[in-house]
Amino acid sequence: MKQPAGNYRWTICSLIFFATTINYLDRAVISLLKSDLTKEFHWTESDYSNIVIAFQLAYALGMLVAGRFIDKAGTKTGYALYTFLWSLAAAAHALVTSTVGFGVARAFLGISESGNFPAAIKTVAEWFPKKERAFATGIFNSGANIGAIVAPLTVPFIAATMGWKWAFIITGSIGFIWLVLWYSFYETPARQHRLSKEEFDYIHSDTVSDNEQAMVDEKTSWIKLLGYKQTWAVALGKFLTDPVWWFYLFWLPAFLKEQYHMEGTAVALPVSLVYSLSAVGSVFGGWLPMNLIKRNWPVFKARKMAMLLYALCALPVVFSQWLGHFDKWYAVIIIGIAAGAHAAWSANIYTTVSDMFPKKMVGSVTGIGGMAGAAGGILIAWLAGQLFDHFKAAGHIETGYYIMFIICGLAYVLAWGIMHLLVPKFKHISDE
């Protein structure tokens, strides 16, 4: 179908981009304050990893509930509720006075932030035809990188001038501004009076089979969803690759401190560069399969070949620490390229859900995948804490980072291989 003149769907995309930016800004704050908080609360590496685990465990459990809740409550109400709760949780970190308190605050943040991606992916499925979903997902997913860019450019300076508590309060309060915009501009396509009929028809131009419509009308349990290989492909792909992003997000500032003695405002530029490259990767990651589809590639083949390319682009991170001995910027750039590869991969693994499942199931399957990714994040956080404490005691903490970067580099090729074995050819579950 010919592209319509209306572009209101991109207004919706900008809203979920803004929400994702805030989501990642709020979760990145603690990594940039790690040095200050370690001094104040006398944390070990394991203490910090346990605080990260508290977030990820709550995030993992929250993902299951979030996906199901958003499928039932709808995107408008569900997204608003979760954003309100995570903004409250982020600001509440300022009230914490102990290490245990930080664990509780991070758990509250984790369970509330779990609603962002199921709601965002479901919004994309509702507002975009399949051929545009990867590009739209890449754009909103780049908000994760923009949030991670904004954080080092603001948080260390707020902490240096006003104290670490204000860093949590100010960043946490931004979500309340988004809520006003969300209620002002969002409705589902069928109820949105700003949407033209031409654009509405374009959004719904994908052919829906009778089998798929029957599945949309059917109540689907988690047990049934877990019976599909497509669900396991998404879950295992997320389990293996999401932890890499968690590692970059929570340990990149610590790596720069340990390896190059950079902390506070000094990390602003290198961390911002890493996530700037990641933002480029996210948008490119969505654009490439869309371009291939326009060249008459089958949707699934375009998605799969693009993901293989991104998996290969993540491999060089295994050499980042070695290259960093020559100049720290070599390490920063290689890590940035790997983060960009992850963002490109992430945009497409999310989109495979809406490729393979009816819209009514998208939130639930995204929740299952997110839970699996967070479970992998728990594992990598525990491993990082153990490795860094062990090698720091031996005076060789750089060995711990070397091991972690090898894991990060190999994860995507392994994930791609497993996903290919589980779903070698495209098959929508309505056709089974």
Residue 217 has what pLDDT?
42
The CA-CA-CA angle for residues 144, 145, 147, to 5°, reads 70
Per-residue pLDDT band at 172 (split at 50, 70, 90): very high
d(CA 338, CA 25): 20
In-domain check, residue 101: yes
What is the CATH number for 377? 1.20.1250.20
d(CA 233, CA 383): 24
Residue type, 318: V
32-49 pLDDT, tens digit per residue, is: 898 889 988 988 888 888
51 to each of 55, 74, 109, 174, 407, how far by Cα in Å?
A: 7, 32, 11, 23, 22
In-domain check, residue 160: yes
Element (H, E) at 378: helix 359-393
In-domain check, residue 47: yes
What long-range pairs does 184-188 form, CB within 8 A, spacing at least 24? 185/11, 185/12, 185/15, 186/12, 186/15, 186/75, 186/76, 186/79, 187/76, 188/74, 188/75, 188/76, 188/126
Per-residue pLDDT band at 375 (split at 50, 70, 90): confident
Residue 207 has what pLDDT?
52
211-237 pLDDT, tens digit per residue, is: 444 444 455 666 788 888 888 999 999
Residue 5 has what pLDDT?
57
DSSP summary character for residue 218: S
Per-residue pLDDT band at 367 (split at 50, 70, 90): confident
Instruction: Supply the range of the domain harboring residue 360.
Output: 8-186+222-425
Task: Say which residue, 426 or 307, is predicted with more confidence.
Answer: 307
Residue type, 303: R
When pLDDT is averaged across residues 4-20 and rounded to a whole number, the result is 88
d(CA 322, CA 331): 8
Q: What's the farthest any 2 CA atoms get from each other in the chain?
A: 67
Please measure the distance between the N-terminal and C-terminal CA atoms of the chain and give it in whole angstroms: 27
Tell whether the model's pLDDT for residue 343 goes beyond 60: yes
In-domain check, residue 92: yes
Per-residue pLDDT band at 308 (split at 50, 70, 90): very high
In-domain check, residue 147: yes
Q: Give the total number of structural domains in the chain.
A: 1
User: What is the share, in percent, of the chain residues with pLDDT greater than 90?
Assistant: 35
Q: Cα torsion at 196, 141, 23, 35 (round to 10°)?
A: -160
Nearest residue to 183 via CA among 71, 15, 331, 55: 15
The crossing angle, in degrees rounded to 10, of helices 359-393 and 328-356 is: 150
99-144 pLDDT, tens digit per residue, is: 999 999 999 999 999 999 889 988 998 898 877 887 888 788 788 8
Tell whether the model's pLDDT for residue 17 goes beyond 90: yes
Task: Say which residue, 134 or 280, is predicted with more confidence.
Answer: 280
Per-residue pLDDT band at 243 (split at 50, 70, 90): very high
In-domain check, residue 432: no
In-domain check, residue 3: no
Kindly report the pTM of this predicted structure.
0.74
In-domain check, residue 80: yes
Tell whether the model's pLDDT for residue 372 goes beyond 70: yes
